[in-house]
Structure 1
Amino acid sequence: MNIVVEDVPEQNRFEARIEGDLAGFADYMTTDTLIVFTHTEVEPKYEGKGVGGVLVRAALDRVRAGDRKVLPLCPFVKAWIGKHPDYFDLVYDAPPSTVRD
């Protein structure tokens, strides 16, 4: 299954698509220094297939390429970061111990 993730800034979200079909999205808000992830959702027919993880990893990789930090208000994004210590450095003003769920 090929999952393509794109930033859709006019809708303030990253979208994951499979063969053009919307499989999931991660909503965000931005400031000059932050990207605040507020909600992540995977379409029911794609749940349990790794779409959420691919979506979050791709979104965070794009954040890493820029100069912003992440504020993970979304429980899914927060939990995903908590399981991937190599992304702790992206979290805004939070030591790793406060990121884990």
Structure 2
Amino acid sequence: MSDHVSEPVTRNSEASRYEVQVDGNLAGVVEYDEHDGRIDMTHTEVFGDFRGSGIGETLAGGAIIDAVDRGLTIVPSCPFIESYLRKHPIAGANIEWPKGD
């Protein structure tokens, strides 16, 4: 397996997910629900041999930047996305933190 991300993070609106490819293979996704100016990032998954290669961080960062660029409020329901946002503040991000924070 190569650790080379061959394509940028892309938004697949039909499937309601962000995707990243490595050497032409789907390496991971961030699933989301988008409505009323909000994007609830619900689940992040990196597949098989791609785990532990940094793909998750690449994917999270790309998804968040796209949401910020589109002016959406980010709801980090996924623990991975929440952790990423806490460790890597993104300028201009409007975040609706989970209850209890």
The question of 1:66 aligning with 2:75 is answered no
Alpha-carbon distance in structure 2 between the residues aligned to 1:23 and 1:73: 21
Letter in 1 for 2:87: K
* Equivalent position of 2:45 in the other structure: 41
The question of 1:2 aligning with 2:5 is answered yes
Q: Number of aligned residue pairs: give it.
A: 94
Which residue, 76, 81, 85 being the options, matches 1:81?
85
* Equivalent position of 2:20 in the other structure: 16
Q: Is the 8 A contact 2:74 2:93 kept in 1?
A: no
Over 3 Å counting, the alpha-carbon distance change for 1:84 and 1:49 in structure 2 is: same
Please list the CA deviations of residues 35-94 of structure 1 after superposition, one character each: whole Å capped at 9, or x if unmatched.
0000000012001100000001011111111121100000110111111123583312x4
Letter in 2 for 1:20: G
Alpha-carbon distance in structure 2 between the residues aligned to 1:3 and 1:80: 22
The CA RMSD over aligned residues, in Å, is 1.5
The question of 1:26 aligning with 2:30 is answered yes
Alpha-carbon distance in structure 1 between the residues aligned to 2:73 and 2:6: 25
TM-score using structure 2 length: 0.85
Between the aligned residues of both structures, percent identity stands at 30
TM-score using structure 1 length: 0.85
Unmatched runs of 5 consecutive residues or more in structure 1: none
Alpha-carbon distance in structure 2 between the residues aligned to 1:90 and 1:57: 15
Q: Which deviates further from its counterpart, 2-11 or 34-43?
A: 2-11
* Equivalent position of 2:58 in the other structure: 54
Unmatched runs of 5 consecutive residues or more in structure 2: none
